[in-house]
Amino acid sequence: MRKIIGSTLILIIVLLQLLTLPITTASAKSNAITFPDPVFEMIIRHYINKPTGSITQSDVDQIKSINTNEVHSMLADRLKSTQQDASEPPNGILSLEGIRYLHNLESLHIELKHDPVIRHTIKDLTELKNLKKLKKLTLIGVSLESIQGVEGLTQLTDLNLSYNVIADLEPLKPLTKLEHLDLSWNQLSQGRGLAPLKGMSKLKNLNLEMNAVDNITPLSSLTNLQELILGGSGNGDLSPLQKLTKLQKLNINYFNAKNISALQNLTQLQELSLLHNQITDLSPLSNMNKLQVLNLSENQVSSLQPIEKLTSLRIINANNNQIKSLAPLKEMVHLKKIEASDNQIVSIEELRGLKNLQDVNLVRNVIDFRNGTPSSLALAALQGQGSKVFYDEFKPFPDIFLMLNKKTAYAYGEYITLPAAPIEKKGRTLVPLRVVSELMGAKVTWNGVDQSITIEFEENKIQMTVGSTKLTVNGQSSEMDTAPVIYGGTTYVPIRYIVAQSGMSVQPDGYGIILTKQIVNKH
């Protein structure tokens, strides 16, 4: 009897196990997670180390971070192997569907790489809204237009959406824990502006470069900002920045700024870039004693005197200004690099004591480096200590140097402003008529009736007429290959034919012409 009962129990147990087997298999299949996008599935399988088979919730629960840069080589190799024709369009992630199952995801990084095989294009972020643990989100160059879906990611501290086509920032409004936000190279000027950012009191880093946003008023409340990039556009009004006293790095390139007085209290700044504005006065920077990097290239600055006490400076970029002297830099013993091309500098004597200088760019300044001059001695000292100095060496050294398309000219040791810039026509340099009289010492007579010009030097008399190539010198006629012209209300004459009678020599020099008085040996 006992044997029968025991056999019966064993049979029941076996039957129960057999019955549960298909149920378990069916349950596993029904709990499988799918990722419709094949490239995204490929990435998920890489992170869970499961090349084939069903993907389950327990599989994806282990994923805390996804970074397409980490798997780029793997993706490229696999996609190349499936590509039938090299002319096929690039492949990549097109949908994030299924990402909602990654409950433990803390960081997501998808970035455009210049690769002919891979190009990620993401249009919909609604699948992200339930990723409550996500703290870092980077979607760079993925053609993103709408950011609907990110409003639920309230734990985000880092968000990078650069190089997309985003116009509306409203979904960012609830993300008050953000500390780092990059919205550079989007289309914010076409949206509602920066208002959704004004409640982000924890924000430390903000990049808005190349967005053509005029109104930056909402930024005035972001008083914890340490780094701000506005380069690329602006209406010139910097007043919203005056309370951002924790800023350490500020970029306002191409902002149309003329007056920078709003910056005077930003004394914690270590790096400041003011490239391509209309700034003339640097006085508001005079108390920025922590400043180490300053870029003021492409402005209208004539004097560095207001910054002479900023002795913490390591790098100064001041190309394309109207700076006349480098003397205010002589106490900046920490300076490693000076960019000062395209200015009005005539001497570098003051740089001689700067022992830490590594690079100095003085190109397109007329500086006398002939043997024995103060600048030549300073140059030798700098080169002797290992500094790289870039400069123009003029042979011969000019008495007058005229720069094409620039009103600034060098004459007899100093810079002057011409009534109009020299121009080039058919390979010939034409200069304003007043240059001939004021710089070359000629007597010039203008006849407005027949538009004739008479130019008299001590021994020679030149006559020419606007629009005519006829030239008369001391009564002898000849032909010029370029006629005088009137352009923009200014009369221009071909300098070559005048110099020949003036006792000076003329020589082209890259971006201008050199005029030098000829020394006549009477013996």
pLDDT at site 85: 61
pLDDT at site 74: 87
Tell me the pLDDT band of 319, cut-offs 50, 70 and 90: very high
Q: Which of 169-173, 188-192, 354-358, 368-372 has the lowest mean pLDDT?
A: 188-192
Distance CA 480, CA 493 (A): 11
State the amino acid at position 186 in one-letter form. N
Mean of the per-residue pLDDT values for the chain?
A: 90
**Residue length of the chain:** 523
User: In this predicted model, what pLDDT tens digit does every residue of 198-215 receive, in sequence order?
Assistant: 999 999 999 999 998 888
Contact 126, 153 (CB under 8 A): no
Q: How much is the average pLDDT of 245-251?
A: 98
pLDDT at site 3: 47
Which helix (H) or strand (E) segment holds residue 301: the answer is none
pLDDT at site 52: 94
Angle at 397 between CA 392 and CA 403, to 5 degrees: 65
Contact 72, 115 (CB under 8 A): yes
pLDDT at site 86: 57
Tell me the pLDDT band of 83, cut-offs 50, 70 and 90: low
For residue 437, give every residue at least 6 positions away whose Cβ sits within 8 Å of its Cβ, in sequence order, or none. 443, 444, 455
Q: How much is the average pLDDT of 314-334?
A: 97
Angle at 484 between CA 481 and CA 488, to 5 degrees: 135
pLDDT at site 79: 80
Contact 475, 469 (CB under 8 A): no
**Pick from 432, 436, 437: nearest CA to 406:** 432
User: In this predicted model, what pLDDT tens digit does every residue of 277-289 receive, in sequence order?
Assistant: 999 999 999 999 9
> Is 428 exposed, middle or buried (CB count within 10 Å of its CB: 0-12, 13-18, 19+)?
middle
Q: Which of 12-16, 194-198, 339-343 has the lowest mean pLDDT?
A: 12-16
pLDDT at site 31: 79
pLDDT at site 241: 97
Extract the tokens encoding 319: 């190309």
Three-class SS string for 63-115?
Answer: CCEEECCCCHHHHHHHHHHHCCCCCCCCECCCCCCCHHHCCCCCEEEEECCCC
For residue 469, give every residue at least 6 positions away whose Cβ sits within 8 Å of its Cβ, in sequence order, or none. 479, 480, 481, 482, 483
Going by the DSSP 8-state scheme, the letter that residue 298 receives in this structure is: S
User: b/e map of 245-254 (b: 16 or more CB within 10 Å)?
Assistant: eebbbbbbbb
Q: How much is the average pLDDT of 438-461?
A: 91
Strand 461-465 relative to strand 470-473, pairing? antiparallel
pLDDT at site 190: 66
User: In this predicted model, what pLDDT tens digit does every residue of 390-407 receive, in sequence order?
Assistant: 999 988 899 999 999 999
Rounded to the nearest 10 degrees, the angle between the axes of helix 72-82 and helix 38-48 is 130
Q: How much is the average pLDDT of 185-191?
A: 82
How far, rounded to the nearest angstrom, does the alpha carbon of residue 25 sit from its chain's CA centroid?
59
Give this prediction's pTM.
Answer: 0.86
Tell me the pLDDT band of 451, cut-offs 50, 70 and 90: very high
> Is 187 exposed, middle or buried (CB count within 10 Å of its CB: 0-12, 13-18, 19+)?
middle
Q: Which tops the pLDDT comparison, 295 or 92?
A: 295
Strand 504-508 relative to strand 490-494, pairing? unpaired
Extract the tokens encoding 388: 């790289």
> What domains appear along the chain, each with residue ranges and CATH number?
84-390 (3.80.10.10), 400-517 (3.30.457.10)
pLDDT at site 84: 58
User: In this predicted model, what pLDDT tens digit does every residue of 87-118 receive, in sequence order?
Assistant: 566 789 999 999 999 999 999 999 988 777 78
For residue 443, give every residue at least 6 positions away whose Cβ sits within 8 Å of its Cβ, in sequence order, or none. 437, 455, 456
Contact 269, 250 (CB under 8 A): yes
Three-class SS string for 444-494?
Answer: EEEECCCCEEEEECCCCEEEEECCCCEEEECCEEEECCCCCEEECCEEEEE
